[in-house]
Amino acid sequence: MAVDMGIITKDNLGKLLGDLSKTRDVYAPAPGPGTGREGMEYRSFASGGKLDFAYPSTRLSSKGILFPQREVLLFFKVAEQQGAPPPDREIIIFGLRPCDAKAFTFLDTVFGGSDDTKGNPLYRKFLDPYYAERRKRTLFISLACNEPPYACFCTSVGGSPFGTEGADITAVELGDTRSEKGRLLLTARTAPGKDFLEANKSSFGSPAAPDTAMNDTLKKKAEASLKVLPVAEVKKKLDESFDDEAWEAVTVNCLGCGVCTYVCPTCHCFDITDETGNDGSGVRLRTWDSCQYPLFTKHASGHNPRVSKKQRMRQRTMHKFSYTVETAGMVSCVGCGRCVRYCPVNLDIRESVLSFAQS
Ligand code: SF4
Ligand code: SF4
């Protein structure tokens, strides 16, 4: 019989992932260089490492593992072309929060890599082989938010601090939240998740009734701690407000820095450039870009269809809460709260959207 639930101590999960890192690329949250806990990000996890649970949410999401901020698409020599080699190891991402796991279900509709294309044939036509190749090699082990941080609003956009979308396995801290010690309840949500638990079953104990009961209690408590805002049903109001002067008011303080797009787990705009050396060899690079920059939409003719910050802010908001409802069948904000936490002038996308929802 397939194993679909297991109990494991945090120490033992660290040992198991450390062992697996010898044959796979394993990632887990860890402090970024010189930034401490506020700069938690996903870093390679190796044998002998200790899993870190003392983070509410990472500063950068795990998006960059499958869709790197900067990647070589191909190497070339004049009159020659050679694709970048595909990764040959499987990937495990541990500790992504449920909103970030859900974000990958949206990125799948952009880049492909999942069979769930929401019925839109364009997603197959424009399959991105770089993302899709990593996607199919990746096992996602999400970690529930027992104590969601202040800026989170996943329950307002169809998610949950204990959500399961996008995760192969969900993990829940049973007590001892954010401590290195304690136990985890792991539940397989997909066939690859079940295969993982089955293949490593000697590392797991069986959950007892009090464990599953504690899981349910923690879930209820976490969900109740978040206020549900009427932001998911705002599409019609936003569409009607396209030319509204209120866009000036919600944008006036914006610096156009693009931080909100870089930290967002669902933003996916990129640029492609070729860098060449004197010998005719070079690389084609893909790097993250941002709709908040004026050059992003500037045409070679000099014309720019989004010349003002107001237009760019409107684009970002409408894209998340209106356009992807049409193209991907979902609001593409997962309520992770990063853009709220990291905007240097405290702009809050919830307030922007609500100002239209309640107008
Ligand atoms: S728009 Fe903001 S809250 Fe929504 S997913 Fe992106 S970063 Fe998170
Ligand atoms: S992070 Fe804030 S200031 Fe920077 S572009 Fe986004 S909304 Fe504007």
d(Cα 268, Cα 262) in Å, to the nearest integer? 9
Alpha carbon nearest to ligand 1 atom 8, residue: 336
* Contact call for residues 98 and 161 (beta carbons, < 8 A): yes
CA of 292 to the centre of ligand 2 (A): 8
Q: Whose CA is nearest to atom 1 of ligand 1?
A: 333
Closest protein CA for atom 2 of ligand 2: 343
Q: Which atom number of ligand 2 is nearest to the Cα of residue 256?
A: 5
Which amino acid is present at 180? E
| Cα–Cα distances in angstroms (integers) from residue 16 to residues 8, 28, 178, 194, 208, in the given order | 10, 13, 19, 16, 22
Ligand 1 environment, Cβ below 6 A: 263-266, 320, 333-339, 349
Beta carbons within 10 angstroms of residue 90's beta carbon: 16
- Report the nearest atom of ligand 1 relative to the CA of 267: 6
DSSP for 29-86?
Answer: EEEETTTEEEEEEEEE--TT-------SS-SS-THHHHS-SEEEEEEEETTEEEEPPP
Of all ligands present, the nearest one to the C-alpha of 264 is 1
> According to the model, what pLDDT value does residue 154 have?
96
- Measured between alpha carbons, how far is 254 from 58 in angstroms, rounded to an integer? 23
Eight-state DSSP code of residue 123 = H
Note the pLDDT of residue 1. 47
DSSP conformation class of 321: I
Q: At what angle do helices 349-357 and 309-318 cross, to 10 degrees?
A: 80
Give the binding-site residues of ligand 2, using a 6 Å CB cut-off: 254-260, 292, 343-345, 347
Question: How far apart, in whole angstroms, are the C-alpha atoms of residue 179 and residue 201?
Answer: 24
Structure pTM?
A: 0.88
Residue 350 Cα to ligand 1 midpoint, Å, equals 9
For the chain, residues with pLDDT lower than 70 are: 1-2, 79-81, 84-87, 113-125, 232
Ligand whose nearest atom lies closest to the CA of 268: 1
Structure tokens that stand for 198 in this block: 């089955």
**151 CA closest ligand 1 atom index:** 3
Residue with tokens 């880049």: 111
Residue 121 confidence (pLDDT): 60
pLDDT of residue 56: 83
Instruction: Quote the pLDDT of residue 123.
Output: 62
